[in-house]
Structure 1
Amino acid sequence: MPVDVIYKTKATANGGGRDGAARSDDGSVDVKLVVPKEMGGPGGVGANPEKLFAAGYSACFLGAMRAVSSKVGVKVPAEATVTAEIGFGPRSEGGYGITADLTIDLPGVDRAEAEKLIAAAHEVCPYSNATRNNVNVGLTLA
């Protein structure tokens, strides 16, 4: 499906991939990568692709809610949060896969209105579109 690209960015990983570093071309993202103990690594201080995906998805989904709020007539409160929990593990078909569960907190917003906003955001969010029909994404209203 073609995309009319309006923004591009680059990041480069080095070292062992999951055990090395990653840096954006402008230096605004510069992270040490560490394999978690659960995945056979040393653990410790550092990021991994799943943490980076969780940060990106949660920020993008919050932005998507703000983008569609006027269209669906539901105001996003300033205190709204989105927490993304990303899971990693082997797939029955082989290789590895991820899971994604988003918990959305919209303080003071009526439940039916919040669900309408979340559904609309899930349709336009680039991360939701990238994962659709490939990753099981759970959406929970806190």
Structure 2
Amino acid sequence: MHPAQILCRPLTVRVMKGAAGRYTHYPNKLHQRTIITLKDHLYFAKATAGGPGRNGTVQSNGDSPLEVNMSTPKIAGGKGDGPSPEQLLAMAYSSCFLGALQLAASRANKKEMAENAQVHTSIFLGHPEDPNMDGFGLRAEVIVEGCPDDSIISSAHEFCPFSRALQYGADVSVMKT
């Protein structure tokens, strides 16, 4: 498939309903939704990106400093010689959701149900269905393996900060110095 065909497919949203889930399309209108705001913070991470856009370097300092050389995927016209922002988001979301899943199982006194679970997250980059919206949008798909309890999975989805940010929105400030 040609890269333009992949990036031009309409985005869908996976709605969790039972074990299998289903797909639905957002109508071509903006939705009013609540934004989650914080009364305090327990932790913060800071990252700095530099270089030629998506092909530059991103670094984060903190307890465990990290520096990564980023790359646009080959399918999107890049070299594909490093991770993309979508890969890093998928990795972070998987890790966070797994932690939420294990916490939800523990709170339900079913800790053993999530001990060997795995969370597979896919992040899709594409054009919004709304023809008046320029740029790209994201769609996330989370698949839980090894935890058969739907109520634990649902509780993890409600608790996970990445799920909340993508489902309800997050308070975002863009400033300049």
Q: Shorter-chain-normalised TM-score: which range?
A: 0.7 to 0.9
- Residue in structure 2 matched with residue 39 of structure 1 by the alignment: 76
Q: Give the conservation status (yes or no) of the 8 Å contact 2:72–2:78.
A: yes
- Residue in structure 2 matched with residue 84 of structure 1 by the alignment: 121
- State percent identity of aligned pairs: 36
Larger Rg, first or second structure (1 or 2): 2
Cα drift, residue 28 of structure 1:
2.5
Cα distance, 1:43–1:70 mapped onto 2, change above 3 Å: closer
**Aligned with residue 101 of structure 1, among 141, 144, 147:** 141
Residue ranges of structure 2 left out of the alignment (5+ in a row): 1-35, 170-177
Residue ranges of structure 1 left out of the alignment (5+ in a row): 135-142
Q: Note the 1:105-116 alignment, pairs <5 A.
A: 105-106=145-146, 109=147, 111=148, 114-116=149-151
**Aligned with residue 57 of structure 1, among 76, 79, 93:** 93
Please provide the CA RMSD for this pair: 1.7
- Residue in structure 2 matched with residue 124 of structure 1 by the alignment: 159
Cα drift, residue 132 of structure 1:
0.5
Q: What per-residue deviation string (whole Å, max 9, x for no partner) do you get for residues 3-23 of structure 1?
A: 121101111111022111111
- Runs of 4+ deviating beyond 3 Å: none
Cα drift, residue 119 of structure 1:
0.2
Higher mean displacement: 13-22 or 24-33: 24-33
Aligned residues: 128
Q: Give the conservation status (yes or no) of the 8 Å contact 2:101–2:114.
A: no
Cα drift, residue 133 of structure 1:
4.8
Q: Note the 1:60-79 alignment, pairs <5 A.
A: 60-75=96-111, 76-79=113-116
Q: Give the conservation status (yes or no) of the 8 Å contact 2:58–2:70.
A: yes
| TM-score, structure 1 as length reference | 0.82
Which structure dedicates a bigger proportion of its chain to strand? 1
Larger RCO (CA under 8 A, 6+ residues apart): 2
Cα drift, residue 72 of structure 1:
2.4
CA distance in 1, matches of 2:114, 2:142: 17
CA distance in 1, matches of 2:127, 2:118: 30
